[in-house]
Structure formats: C-alpha cells, structure tokens
Amino acid sequence: MNQELSSGFTIAANAPIAVALAISALLFVIGLVGFLCRRNMIIMFLCTELMFQGAALAMIAFARLRMDVSGQVFVIFILTVAAAEAALALALVVLLYRKRETLSADAWSDLGES
C-alpha cells in the first residue's frame, strides 16, 4: 500500500499537516452533504459554516507547510466574512420564518414548476 500511495500526501512533509488536509476535505464534504439534505434553513446555513471551517483548516495547514503567515491572515478574513454573512443570513431567515411560520426550505419553491 505504501508504494501505491507514496506520491500522495508526501507533499505534506509531515504527518500532522497531511491529517489536517484530510480533515479539511472531510469537513468541507460533510458540510456539503448537510447542506444538500437538511431542510431546516438555519441548519443549512450552519452547514455552510462547516464548509467554511474546512476551507479555513486547509489554509492553516498550507500556511504551516510553507511557513508563510499569509494563510493565517486569510483565515482571519474568512472569519470576518463568515461573521457578516451569518448575521445577515440569520436576519433574513427570521424574516422568512415570519412569513410562512416554518423554517422548512420547501416552503420557498415558488420559482420552480409546481
């Protein structure tokens, strides 16, 4: 097995970085899956936050790999944007909830064909 996989994560120079990269991919994908299959709007946004987590972890891992602090700087910006987006998104969700008295995303499929 080693032979086959030897040219894989060796870019990660040492194991923790490799594990961090793998985890970032997994977090991203788990967030994607959750977004696609949950119907509660707030939880859908929570899953997008999960995807943010995955991306941020990848950034940090590569910053550690390349010993460049820019990756961490970028994560700060990601944090900023995530905060702004969360605030606005939740405000909108509350408004939507007031209209239909439900948090289900299926209530808002007017654009599609019935």
Partner 1 sequence: MTQLTSIPQAIIAPELSWVGLALLLPLLAAVACALCCALRVKGKAAAIITILALAASFGIIVKAYFAYTGPVQVPIFQWLSFQWGTGQFQSFTANCGMYIDTLTLYWMLFVTGLGTLISIYASEYMEGDCGAGYSRFFFGICIFLFSMSALVLGDNLIMLYLGWEGVGLASYLLIGYDYARPAAVAAGKKAFIMNRIGDLGLALGIFMLWANYGTVQYSELFAAMNKGGQTSVNWDLSVIPFLLMLGAFGKSAQIPLFTWLPDAMEGPTPVSALIHAATMVTAGVYLIARMYPFFELHPEALATVAWVGGLTALLAATIGMAQYDIKRVFAYSTISQLGYMFLGLGVGTTFGACYHTLTHAFFKALLFLTAGAIMHGFAGQLDLRKLSGLRHLPGWRIVSWTMLVGCLWLSAFPYTAAFFSKDAILLKALTSVRADFRFLGWLGLFTAALTAYYTFRVWFRVCAGPLHFEPGAEGHDEPHDTHDTHDKHDTHGKPAPALAAKSTHAFHPHAPRWAINGVLLILAVGALVVGIPGYNETFAHKDNWAQQMIAGSSAMEGAGLAEDHGSQASQEHPTVLGMDAHTGLTVVGCTASIGGILVAWYLHLRSRKSADQLRAALLRRWWIRWVPICMENKWYVDEIYHACFRLPMWLGAQILSFGDRHFLDGVMVDGLAKLPVAVGKVFKPLYGGALQGYAATMAGGIALVVAWLSWVWLRGFN
Partner 2 sequence: MVPTIFYAACAIAAAGLALLLMQSGSKFRMGATILGLAGIAWILVIVVQTIPTPASEIGPLGLMILCAFVSVASAVRVITHHRPVFCALYFVLVVVSGAAIYVLLSAEFVAFSLVIVYAGAILITYLFVLMLAQQSPADIGSADAVDYDRIAREPAGAVIAGFVVIAVLGGSVFSVSEQKAESILDQNRAIRQGWGDLSMMPKLLLEQARRTDSTVTAVVARTDGQMIAAQTDHSAIISVQRGCQKTPTDLTLAPSLLPDNTSRVGMALVTRFPVSLELAGIILLMAMFGAVVLARKQTDIADDDRRALAGLGKVMDGNQSSQGKANR
Report yes or no: 7 and 44 within 8 Å, Cβ to Cβ. no
Tokens for 69?
């602090």
Nearest-CA neighbor of 86 among 53, 37, 38? 53
Nearest 10 degrees: CA dihedral of 82, 20, 70, 86?
0
Residue 113: contacted member of partner 1, partner 2, none (CB under 5 to 8 Å, by partner type): partner 1
CB 15 to partner 2: min, Å: 5
Contact string (CB under 8 A) for partner 1, positions 40-59, x = contact: ----x---------------
Please select the residue that binds partner 1; options are 15, 37, 67, 95, rule is CB under 8 A: 37
Alpha-carbon Rg for the chain, nearest whole angstrom, is 19
51 binds, among partner 2, partner 1, none (CB under 5 to 8 A by kind): none
**Total residues contacting partner 1 (rule CB under 8 A)?**
13
